[in-house]
Amino acid sequence: MRLKQVYLEERQVDLLKRLSATTGVPESALIRRAIDLFLETAWALEVRPPVARWNAWEEERAAIRARWAEAGRERVGEGRVWRREDLYEHGGSPL
């Protein structure tokens, strides 16, 4: 184990002391349990660093490539097949 120093609010200290006295579990063990519980919950809720969700980007990229393939395009960035003027009813100006 490694030593970590943290600041606790007075109410946290009071509640921790009471829980330790009631259960007979040392305060340090209660703190470790609380940290484990928080980390497990955060992981279950997918509150993870962006690197841990890198697969989501890969999945999105694959979905984009699949859409382009459906449209008959070889790859993303192949160039557009429409002209800007085609977007407007009157042939070239949004106004």
How far, in Å, CA of 30 to CA of 26, rounded? 6
Tens-place pLDDT, residues 6-60 = 999 999 999 999 999 999 999 999 999 999 888 888 776 666 555 556 677 788 8
Residue 31 CB neighbours (<10 A) = 16
| Chain centre to alpha carbon of residue 41 | 13
Domain range annotation of the chain: 1-45, 49-76
- Of 28 and 94, the structure prediction assigns the larger pLDDT to 28
How far, in Å, CA of 76 to CA of 95, rounded? 31
Average of pLDDT values for 56-84? 74
Judge whether 62 and 54 are in contact, CB under 8 Å: no
Identify which of 4-8, 46-50, 64-68, 87-91 has the greatest average pLDDT. 4-8
- Of 74 and 55, the structure prediction assigns the larger pLDDT to 55
Q: How confident is the model at residue 79 (pLDDT cuts 50, 70, 90)?
A: low
The tokens 């809720």 sit on which residue?
45
pTM of the model: 0.46
